[in-house]
Amino acid sequence: MYTVSFFGHRVVQRFDDADGAVYGLICALLREKERLDFLVGFGGDFNDIVSAAVRRAHKAVRDDTATLTLVLPYENAATRKDSNLLLQYYDAIEVDVPADTYFKAAYSVRNRRVIDRSDLCVFYVERESGGAYAALCYARKKGKEIINFAENMKRLQD
């Protein structure tokens, strides 16, 4: 299983460019890798871009051995109530943080745990602040294979 995780800022300025780049990467991975697990978060532009791109690529390329997994930092009333609805869109839902984790630290803990199990970490990080940036720094520290689409787009623009 080849595991790909995605992290990005809540607001993506170049939405269409990011969507095209993510979709292209996912299609390429579906063609190259035998079994894939795409790990995404919930809420925010980049998570929405990734989830929609995976679904489109499943239809265009293949969906037989690739899963889209929603990884949450904690369960809440909304996710419990809507879990059946969420499972119509995501192949699996995980809560990947120990129950005794303080809720303000839950996203950081979840991000580190997701990065630890990933073969490739894909980012859309434009600025050096926030949770997505902290996740990028952690992935670098762990020596993970990294793609940062925001950085790539900035280089192309310059």
| Domains detected in the chain | 2-157 (3.40.50.450)
In this prediction, residue 152 carries a pLDDT of: 64
Distance CA 144, CA 7 (A): 14
Provide the H-helix boundaries in the chain. Answer: 15-32, 45-60, 77-81, 83-86, 106-116, 131-141, 149-157
pLDDT, mean of each 10-residue run, the chain (158 residues): 92 83 95 94 87 92 87 76 74 80 83 96 91 95 95 58
In this prediction, residue 158 carries a pLDDT of: 46
Distance CA 66, CA 110 (A): 22
